Amino acid sequence: MSQATNMTHQQMLDLIQQLNDYSYAYHVKDDPLVPDAVYDRDYRQLQDIEAEHPEWIQEDSPTQRVGEKPDSGFANVPHTVPMLSLDNAFDNESLSDFDQRIRKLIHAEQVTYCCEPKLDGLAISLRYENGRLIRGVTRGDGLSGEDITSNIKTIYSVPLKLRTETPPAVLEVRGEIYMPKEGFEKLNALAAEQGEKTFVNPRNAAAGSLRQLDPKITAKRPLVMCAYSIGYVEEWEQPESHYEGLLQLSEWGFRTNDLMAKAEGAQGCIDYYEMLNEKRADLSYDIDGIVYKVDRIALQNQLGFIARAPRWAIARKFPAQEEMTRITGVDFQVGRTGAITPVARLEPVFVGGVTVSNATLHNKDEIDRLGVKINDYVIVHRAGDVIPKVVQVVLDKRPEDATDVVFPEACPVCGSDLEQVEGEAIIRCTGGLVCGAQLKESLKHFVSRKAMDIDGLGDKLIEQLVDNELVKTPVDIFTLHEKKDALLAMERMGQKSVEKLLASIETAKSTQFNRFIYALGIREVGEATARALTSYFTELDALMAADQEALVEVEDVGPVVAQHVRLFFEQELNRDTILGLLNAGVLWETKQSVSADDLPLSGKTYVVTGSLSQFSRDQVKDKLQALGAKVSGSVSAKTDCLVAGEKAGSKLAKAQSLNVPVIDETGVIDLLTQYGAI
Ligand SMILES: NC(=O)c1ccc[n+]([C@@H]2O[C@H](COP(=O)([O-])OP(=O)(O)OC[C@H]3O[C@@H](n4cnc5c(N)ncnc54)[C@H](O)[C@@H]3O)[C@@H](O)[C@H]2O)c1
Ligand SMILES: [Zn+2]
């Protein structure tokens, strides 16, 4: 592995210092400074220079030991058999080298290996005497570790007693304690919610949880223990192969990994790697590689150990899912619904198998929580096909020219004001009607059946019109008749379909006030709220001028919806567009402003369900409302009457159970006729 490193002695000493600092933060503080990939690279560099200059090897070099001595409040316990580290292979070539080395040493043509996923947690040794768990110890520095028995006992997959009548006198089981991905996400979500520090990855979360001085906290953490070898046994005949040893552990009640398998030679190992690499993203737990072990115990004993690792095993690492890089800037993207997402621009970095140059920062709260600044070094995480995200700032490496991330005050696409609802993390553009980023979505809504109801103007056509720049705002729809040639030039648009489209646009100009308000796509203003607003403010001017106080007077309009409405009408561009629509000929009949209390159905709440044959449900709702009724979407004890058409389902059942009067289509037509609404 060695290559010319051109490193001076002093540079090597600095590298050792650096690695020891990383190692201390990782092993003792459970709070790594840099991603493993960075540590591993520096570590290999040190190995290279030590190979070049064996006379320079220091006693405190990380290559000379396993981990760090713990510094916490747990008692220190020596291991009966040292808990070693593993040599690493980062490609097929070094794996083949490993296999060749083994074959040469034991003079064999082919070797059988036991392949196991390398679980990304932390190593533990469990001691059983006469079948009972008496102690659980962390790996520590390999020679001794921390006694964390009371914490271990809170983990359900750790047997407190072996499932056998004839246990070995003494058994030391080695395994990994890890946190499955789902539990990790939940734990982090909770921590973020409470404004606490989150864990960078499941490994850290597991380490932090396990070394809690209060076992009650450990008990609340979703930890799993998986056994991967027999470390030491007394008065028991060892099985002949490692694989059989795992089966024995499983029989005694330990969890073992169900993906472990035997493989023949280097090729078998490589095939297993390909198989597991495919599965990696879908596993419910993190793995950072594969451990290959010579399967026959007799051969293991013959091969023995070197420095800090067994000669008969090797860890083949997967490409790192976490890497360190620098943030060069932050872009603010506007989504289809107006949500503003900060995206970090990165110095390109190879992570999770691809080169990444952007990573999401989610929202403003996340920026604050991470405390990230431009020019900072950050840890980027990418697993499977998931969008890369920034998970941590490497504060230790913060440069002097780091500058704060400034969230924009206006939408970067359309310039409208931004809005953040209290209690929500998302910040949104309020220019729904005019914002280029939201244009396609808002147009689709604008023309939909319950809004402006423009027949023949489907989603596909909207996309085409926007892509061809024929429509840039909703107003442009009503001037399409001036662009007939351009329409005809579009794909799948013949003379006939263009004529038809223009006709239905013309028809749609005559609309209703509530449909118009609904069509504007104001946040959280659905059909029912649009109706409520327009029957309260019967004039557009009045609605546009209404302040918060006036708006909350409207039935079912709370402070949040009122804020959305007010902010929407405050935007100059939105106001211009509304004016443009009116100038283009959009109109509706203004209803006589009568005091709502004077109408025949005032104070009554109706629900309409099922299918009607003579009128659409919307038409019936309109007419009921015109008579002063409130139309609600769901049946409750407060409902005065349910209009049930054919095939009415759960609403009918509910009305019957609550003794709410029910009328059918004929009944509602009679009612509407009686009050002159038909
Ligand atoms: N980010 C940092 O700053 C930093 C600092 C120090 C160390 N590290 C990381 O720590 C690791 C170094 O630790 P190491 O030297 O113990 O090597 P290792 O973690 O790569 O391999 C040994 C460990 O593998 C685990 N393991 C999982 N499944 C296993 C199985 N089936 N059989 C046997 N062991 C299994 C055990 O916990 C064992 O102790 C590296 O991944 C390194 O990147 C990171
Ligand atoms: Zn915008």
Q: ipTM of the assembly?
A: 0.92
> Whose CA is closest to 432, among 422, 421, 418, 420?
418
Per-residue pLDDT at 211: 86
> Does residue 348 sit in the same domain as residue 262?
no
**How far, in Å, from the CA of 432 to the mean position of ligand 2?**
7
Give the per-residue pLDDT at 199.
87
182 with 270: CB under 8 angstroms? no
Cα 363 to averaged position of ligand 1 atoms, centre (Å) = 34
pLDDT of 1 > 50? The answer is no
Residue 334 shares a structural domain with residue 199: no
Q: What is the mean pLDDT of residues 522-531?
A: 92
CA distance 384 to 358: 16
- Which ligand number lies closest to the CA of residue 309? 1
Tell me whether residue 73 is in a domain. Answer: no
Which whole number is the average pLDDT over 450-464?
92
Domain membership flag for residue 427: no
415-439: per-residue pLDDT in tens? 999 998 878 889 999 988 889 889 9
How long, in residues, is the chain? Answer: 678
If we measure between CA atoms, which residue out of 78, 82, 81 comes closest to residue 135?
Answer: 78
**Which of 269, 287, 317 is at the close of a domain?**
317
Q: Do 481 and 369 lie in a common domain?
A: no
Q: Are residues 170 and 243 in the same domain?
A: yes
CA distance 483 to 473: 15
Same domain, 492 and 372: no
Distances (CA, A) of 628 to 140, 211, 396: 76, 66, 67
Give the model confidence (pLDDT) of 12-45 as tens digits. Answer: 999 999 999 998 888 777 788 899 999 999 999 9
Packing angle of the helix pair 617-626, 527-536 (nearest 10 deg): 20
Ligand 1 pocket test, pick from 30, 42, 176 with the greatest ligand atom count within 8 Å of Cβ, gives 176
Instruction: Identify the residue whose C-alpha is closest to ligand 1 atom 16.
Output: 85
CA of 525 from ligand 2 middle (Å) equals 18
In the reported structure, the alpha carbon of residue 334 is separated from the centroid of ligand 1 by a whole-number distance in angstroms of: 41
Tell me whether residue 633 is in a domain: yes
Average pLDDT over the chain, rounded to whole? 91
In tens, the pLDDT along 584-640 reads: 999 998 765 455 566 788 888 999 999 988 888 888 988 898 888 888 888 988 899
226 is in an annotated binding site: no
Whether 25 maps to a domain, the answer reads yes
CATH number of the domain that residue 518 is part of:
1.10.150.20
Distance (Å) from CA 438 to ligand 2 centroid: 7
Residue 435 annotated as binding site: yes
- C-alpha 315 to ligand 1 mean position (Å): 9
Whether 190 and 271 share a structural domain: yes
CATH number at residue 621: 3.40.50.10190
Question: Which helix (H) or strand (E) covers residue 346, if one does?
Answer: strand 340-351
Q: Where does a domain end: 289, 317, 345?
A: 317
DSSP 116-134: EEEESSEEEEEEEETTEEE
What's 145's domain CATH number? 3.30.470.30
Residue 419 lies in a domain: no
pLDDT digits (tens, 9 = 90+) for 283-324: 999 999 999 999 999 999 999 998 789 999 999 999 889 999
The predicted structure's pLDDT at residue 63? 87
Which residues form the pocket of ligand 1, taking CB atoms under 6 Å from any ligand atom?
Answer: 22-23, 26, 32-36, 39-40, 66, 85-86, 116, 118-119, 122-123, 139, 176, 228, 291, 315
Q: Contact, 158 vs 199, CB < 8 A? A: no
Burial class of 306 by CB neighbour count within 10 A (0 to 12, 13 to 18, 19+): exposed
| Nearest-atom index, ligand 1, CA of 229 | 32
Task: Write the pLDDT tens digit of every residue in 350-403.
Answer: 998 899 999 999 999 899 989 999 999 999 999 877 889 999 999 989 999 999
At residue 69, the pLDDT reads: 67
At 494-521, the pLDDT tens digits run: 999 999 999 999 999 999 999 999 999 9
| Helix, strand, coil content of the chain in percent (nearest 5) | 40, 20, 40
Q: What count of Cα atoms within 13 Å lies in the side-chain half-sphere of residue 580?
A: 17
Mean pLDDT of 202-217: 90
Residue 368 CA to residue 259 CA, distance in Å, equals 41
Residue 571: both structure tokens together: 């935007």
Q: Which of 429, 425, 436, 433 is nearest to 340 (CA)?
A: 429
Predicted local distance difference test score (pLDDT) of residue 2: 46
Task: Provide the whole-model pTM.
Answer: 0.70
**To 10 degrees, the CA torsion angle through 187, 192, 194, 196?**
90
Q: Spell out the alpha helix ranges (H) of 571-639.
A: 572-583, 617-626
Structural domain contains residue 414 = no
Instruction: Classify the C-alpha dihedral 38-39-44-49 as positive or negative.
Output: positive
Cα dist from 449 to 446, 505, 511, whole Å:
9, 13, 12
Q: Annotated binding residue at 482?
A: no
For residues 359 and 342, the answer to whether their CB atoms sit within 8 Å is no
Q: Is 86 annotated as a binding residue?
A: yes
Contact yes or no for 213/220 (Cβ under 8 A): no
What's the CA gap between 239 and 552, in Å, rounded?
77
Query: For residue 158, is it within any domain?
Result: yes
- For residue 618 the two structure tokens come to 């919307």
Say how many domains are in the chain: 5
Shortest-distance Cα residue to atom 37 of ligand 1: 123
Q: If you measure from the C-alpha of residue 5 to the centroid of ligand 1, how many angstroms do you get, rounded to a whole number?
A: 25
Percent share of the chain, pLDDT over 70: 97
The pLDDT, as a whole number, for residue 597 is 63
By CB neighbour count within 10 A (0-12 exposed, 13-18 middle, 19+ buried), where does 56 fall?
A: middle
Domain that holds residue 17: 9-64
CB 428 within 8 A of CB 337: yes
Residues 152 and 278 in one domain: yes
Shared domain for 286 and 392, answered yes or no, is: no
Domain termination residue (choose one: 564, 588, 612): 588
Is 293 one of the annotated binding-site residues?
Answer: yes
User: Tens digit of pLDDT for each residue in 98-138?
Assistant: 999 999 999 999 999 999 999 999 999 999 999 999 999 99
Buried b (16+ CB within 10 A) or exposed e, 92-103: eeebbebbeebe
Tell me which residue of 477, 565, 553 sits closest to 518, measured CA to CA.
Answer: 565
Ligand nearest to the CA of 246: 1
Residue 200 has pLDDT above 70, yes or no: yes
Q: What is the CATH number of the domain that holds 40?
A: 1.10.287.610
Mark whether 448 and 534 lie in a shared domain. yes
User: Of the listed 118, 389, 623, 651, which one is catalytic?
Assistant: 118
Please tell me the distance from the alpha carbon of residue 8 to that of residue 380, in angstroms, as a whole number: 31
Separation CA 633–CA 643 (nearest Å): 12
Query: In this predicted structure, what is the pLDDT of residue 625?
Result: 84
Do 277 and 362 belong to one domain?
no
366 touches 372 (CB < 8 A): no
Ligand nearest to the CA of 338: 2
Q: Express each pLDDT in 131-161 by its tens digit.
A: 999 999 999 889 999 999 999 999 999 999 9
Q: Give domain status of residue 422, yes or no.
A: no
The DSSP line for 72-106 is SSSPEEE-SS-----EEE-SHHHHHHHHHHHHHHH
pLDDT at 3 exceeding the cut of 80 = no
Residues 307 and 336 in one domain: no
Q: Which ligand is nearest to the CA of 90?
A: 1
- pLDDT at site 592: 53
85 annotated among ligand-binding-site residues: yes
| Residue having the nearest C-alpha atom to atom 10 of ligand 1 | 36
pLDDT at 72 over 80: no
Question: Is residue 484 annotated as part of the catalytic site, yes or no?
Answer: no
- DSSP code of residue 20: H
Give the mutation target among 17, 47, 86, 379 for probing the ligand 1 site: most ligand atoms within 8 A of CB: 86
Together in a domain, 101 and 229:
yes
414 carries a ligand binding annotation: yes
**For residues 126 and 147, is the Cβ–Cβ distance under 8 A?**
no
CA-139 nearest atom, ligand 1: 39
- Residue 66 and residue 83 in contact, taking contact as beta carbons nearer than 8 Å: yes
Q: Which atom of ligand 1 is nearest to the CA of 288?
A: 41
